[in-house]
Amino acid sequence: MPIYAYKGMDRAGKDVKSTINVESIVAAKQRLKSMGIMIVEIKEERAKGTTAGGSVFRMGGSVSVDDLALMTRQLATLIKAKIQIVEALQALVDQVEDKNLRLVLSDLRQKVNEGASLAKALGDHPKVFNNIYVNMVEAGEASGTLEIVLLRLADFTEAQVKLKNKIKGAMTYPAIMGVFGFGMMNVIFIFVIPKMAKIFTSTKRELPLITKICIGISEFMQGYWWAVIIGIVGSFFAIRHYINTPSGRSRWDRILLKLPIVGILVKMINVSRFCSTLGTLMQSGVPILTAMSIVKNLISNVHMAEAVEKARISVSEGASLSQPLLQSGFFPPMVTHMIKLGERSGELEPMLKIISENYEDQVQSRIGGLTSVLEPIMMMGLGGAVGFIVFAVVIPMMDLNSPK
């Protein structure tokens, strides 16, 4: 159902400006007339990428993760209350404040009302709803557990925001130090070293190797600073593009798992996510095979997601859940041992919850410790760079004071 923005005057002569959600512009004018509003201007609100016929095939505007999480939780609550999806989406359209999200919800309502599934309608807005979101909703619709899946998606989205904020907080100081150090090195190499180089070369003496290297770096920075900037920016976008390809994503995720500190953190986050979601879905009555199909989409690392899929196939063939997870090498033996105990005792769901809570605490602790590890590394790096420059300058200066 389209959304129309209007400007006008009410019966008291006051200016009014708002939106109205009706079937057509004729209906909008009739509604406003019945409300006693004299229309000055009225037009349909559209997102970027809207076709002439009004169909939104790409959502140009962004939607904050906080708004998305809140909308998801509200939609889950409405569906849990046995309200039809079309009516639930209409209710959200009427109360959502964000313009872009309101337009998306209006388009979703229209498509679902025309017979499309909610997952299919969500898939038409890839900039708002990623593959994980769409796949989980599709699995929830197929299994009849849409409200459970939406609640878990809201939890997952909110947890993502908290985790990102915590990581950002941990990385703020090292990032400031890195930027400051990089800027300081550039100033020294571009402005200070050239003046010192003139003094050294005027003496006609043989310069130490470290000084020659320092002068060479300085000359390169002066003549090709633009190439350094282009190289850094170009490398960033090239790497990001490569990571977005299937082979690039696979290799990048493999590298992440092998990194000393980051690899452990990635495993912990995904293990916690796996156990928490699987336990929640199973406690809600979702069959284990369906639950594992949903959980697989929440695993951010492709190799760990493949391990979960292999475990799902193993369970479908009558085997245990713990054994293929242990064989993958991505799930710690303690985790798989506790899952095995849960399977034997028939208490798998509570056991998964215990594992999840334990790993969530460890993730918070690891992120907190990340700063204490990065700070000395950054200080050592800056100290090494400063020491390199100091030796490059001091050694030839001492040579100047010595007799030939």
Angle at 292 between CA 286 and CA 295, to 5 degrees: 100
Q: How far apart are CA 98 and CA 116, in angstroms?
A: 24
DSSP 323-360: HHHHHHSSS-HHHHHHHHHHHHHT-HHHHHHHHHHHHH
What residues have CB less than 8 Å from 325, skipping those under 6 apart? 307, 308, 311, 331, 335, 336, 339
Token pair in block for residue 179: 């930027």
Angle at 164 between CA 281 and CA 306, to 5 degrees: 45
Token pair in block for residue 349: 């769901």
pLDDT the model gives residue 49: 41
Q: How far apart are CA 87 and CA 246, in angstroms?
A: 39
- Per-position pLDDT tens, the chain of length 404: 566 777 887 777 788 777 776 667 777 777 878 888 877 787 776 544 443 333 333 333 478 888 888 898 899 889 888 899 989 998 888 888 888 888 888 889 888 888 889 989 998 888 888 777 887 788 788 878 888 888 888 887 787 777 777 777 777 877 888 888 888 888 888 888 888 888 877 777 788 888 889 889 888 888 888 888 899 899 999 999 999 898 999 999 999 999 887 888 889 889 988 988 888 778 777 788 888 888 888 888 999 999 999 999 999 998 889 989 999 889 989 999 999 999 898 888 889 989 988 888 888 787 777 767 777 887 888 888 888 888 888 888 777 666 55
pLDDT the model gives residue 307: 92
pLDDT the model gives residue 309: 92
Residues forming a β-bridge with 7? 17, 41
pLDDT the model gives residue 402: 62
Q: Measured between alpha carbons, how far is residue 259 from residues 5, 46, 63, 305, 340 in Å?
A: 52, 45, 33, 18, 28
**Which amino acid, one-letter code, is at 302?**
V
pLDDT the model gives residue 300: 85
Phi, psi for residue 349 in degrees, rounded to 5: -60, -50
- Burial group, residue 32, by CB count within 10 angstroms (0-12, 13-18, 19+): buried
Q: Parallel, antiparallel, or unpaired: how do β-strands 38-44 and 3-9 relate? A: antiparallel
Of the candidates 78, 73, 100, the one whose C-alpha atom is nearest the C-alpha of residue 89 is 78
Question: What kind and span of H or E run contains 3?
Answer: strand 3-9
pLDDT the model gives residue 50: 41
Q: Measured between alpha carbons, how far is residue 172 from residues 177, 182, 260 in Å?
A: 9, 15, 20
pLDDT the model gives residue 254: 93
Q: How far apart are CA 267 and CA 168, in angstroms?
A: 19
Is the pTM above the cut of 0.75?
Answer: no
DSSP 248-285: HHHHHHHHHHHSTTHHHHHHHHHHHHHHHHHHHHHHTT
Q: Measured between alpha carbons, how far is residue 85 from residues 90, 112, 118, 142 in Å?
A: 8, 8, 8, 15
Question: What kind and span of H or E run contains 127?
Answer: none
pLDDT the model gives residue 21: 66
Residue 298 three-state SS: coil
